[in-house]
Homo-oligomer: A and B are copies of this chain.
């Protein structure tokens, strides 16, 4: 457990907030605090540690040599949202990276994770990515997921402990309980940079986000590396909401893109330059069209719930999740065994700015 003094200090410094999920009370770290990562949550009797930050390398060959002292496993990095899944007082809960119990993910988790896993391992926490075109958080989705969502387990933690189970032990659990998991590409070392580059080129062509490298050693060092596809895709998807993102979102991706290309010996070919240009401009053009025709800039999300009450709770919970986004429900209706929720995220910065300047307003910048 975390020491009560530390928790009190974090409370005093506003790094911890009380939350309530269907009557279940818990504390949530809203920011990193000392060595406690954001998203760490505390129940009366247990701690679920936040998923740690993973460093990013920008070039494979120098990066892997610099970062690793031993061979490393290579796994796919899936483009979705990060959850931790665990058993707590009679129910399986799924918690987002930020530490919110998610009514959507919690509603759906039992369709993807064998219930026996938690019956037999109530002390474990599965770390997984949830991805797919019908997820309620992320506008992007891996091209190989055609509908709904999928779960991809990539790590296992022990409740109350700030570390992961060893890689081979994780594999045994994945196999034993047939857990859905990320693709694994095997054990490599720095003599295999050529093969790894070829792997990354293939993943890039397949539209995958990238990989995570995990050292096969006690210290379990990890770094991640992203394809140029994913960087372009990030720009393409978010340019509709260009003013709503942290300021360095785009410069970071441009640098990653250039460094990926430079290392792969990719020239500044016309197709790629065009793709980058259109990634920026098509979203902005669509935002201008929405502003003119509909008076707001938004994107529609759709997701499937098993229980209607989960959908209602989800809507209530995301209502006030951001001051820069307004959530507007489009509808909730039953289809087969699911409740289909549709809602819009209205991007208030873009809506306000475009409304102002298209109406002839001036800006002092």
Contacts and interface: CB of A to CB of B under 8 A. Distances in A.
A362 B281 CA distance: 31
B252 A55 contact: no
A228 to B, nearest CB: 11
A281 B268 contact: yes
- Integer count of this chain's copies in the complex: 2
A363 B281 contact: no
A268 B278 CA distance: 7
Contacts of A2: none
B55 A364 contact: yes
Interface stretch (A62-70, A130-138, A175-183, A201-209): A62-70
Contacts of A47: none
Interface secondary structure of A, over-half rule? helix
A282 B284 CA distance: 22
Contacts of A255: 242-243, 284, 353
Interface stretch (A111-119, A146-154, A269-277, A331-339): A269-277
A193 to B, nearest CB: 11
Nearest to A292: B262
A285 B262 contact: yes
B59 A358 contact: yes
Contact of A362 (B56, B274, B365): B56
A357 B58 contact: yes
A156 interface: no
Given A56-B364, A59-B357, 9 more contacts: A57-B361, A57-B362, A58-B357, A59-B360, A63-B362, A262-B288, A268-B277, A268-B285, A277-B277
